[in-house]
Amino acid sequence: MVQSKAMISFQVMDIVGMRGKTYYLPDHVGFYSTNSGESLALDLSQNINEILKESIKKRGRASMAVSGGSTPKLLFEELSLLNIDWSKVDLTLVDDRWVDSNNEDSNELLVNTHFIKNKAEKVNFVPLKNDAKTAKDGIPLSEEALKSFTMPFDIVILGMGADGHTASLFPCSDELSKGMDLKTKSLLVATKPKTAPYERISLTAKSIIEAKKVFLHLNGSSKLHTLEEAMNISDSSKMPIYAFLEHGLDIFWSP
């Protein structure tokens, strides 16, 4: 059963060292925790399972955007085993580096390796990277490729860096204000972070916030400290994750 934000809020295991762990989060931010990354991935996959099936039942299709990095690998493996009509699910990335799809730093490669297999082989995956020379040049092609998706997204799964960035919306990027503009008509933005390699392509904050369900998938105690810092600073230009905490999302966290 999919849990609403009210139901999911502050269901937390009794984990040593987590005293005062969520006092700084707004009431409208959901928080769910287990004591391992494996069990967290399983629980999150079951929530996603319910949402996708319900969307397919109501509208005939479902749409989802997922993040890269090491954290979602276990989740992708669990998702690949779900008994869903994956041919009716449109999948893309929250962001990607502007590198070849066989590059070890490519989020597209990550999804192809850990997600698109087993029962999920027939998912309609539309990567963000294309043959354009730069991410900025590639945005029109990428946005055109995503026009077939049911919008807004049914599900967006975010990650978060130690600097409070999410997607490829980096506080050090000159393009941050463009990516965080909630009045933009653009689905995607090209960014060049000063503290991370590669030019990148990313969903805009608006396209993420408009999703029907936004999950923030985190592992490690340091991520809780980052969330607390973001709430204390309360400035999305310094820690972009704050914009999404302010709007509301559901956090899935494990130590």
95 near 200, Cβ under 8 Å?
yes
Phi, psi of 24 (to 5 degrees): -90, -5
Identify whether 152 is preceded by a cis peptide bond (ω within 30 of 0): yes
User: Domain ranges in the chain?
Assistant: 5-254
Residues 6+ apart with CB under 8 A from 144: none
Residues 6+ apart with CB under 8 A from 156: 64, 65, 94, 203, 208, 211, 213, 214, 215
Task: From first to last of the 255 residues of the chain, give the pLDDT tens digit.
Answer: 444 333 333 333 333 333 334 789 999 999 999 999 999 999 999 999 999 999 999 999 999 999 999 999 999 999 999 999 999 999 999 999 999 999 999 999 999 999 999 999 999 999 999 999 999 999 999 999 999 999 999 999 999 999 999 999 999 999 999 999 999 999 999 999 999 999 999 999 999 999 999 999 999 999 999 999 999 999 999 999 999 999 999 999 999
Architecture of domain 5-254: 3-Layer(aba) Sandwich (3.40)
Q: How would DSSP label each residue in 206-230?
A: HHHHTSSEEEEEEESHHHHHHHHHH
CA distance 148 to 91: 11
**Could you identify the residue written with the tokens 């409208």?**
28
Taking the complete model, does pTM exceed 0.85, yes or no? yes
253 near 31, Cβ under 8 Å?
yes
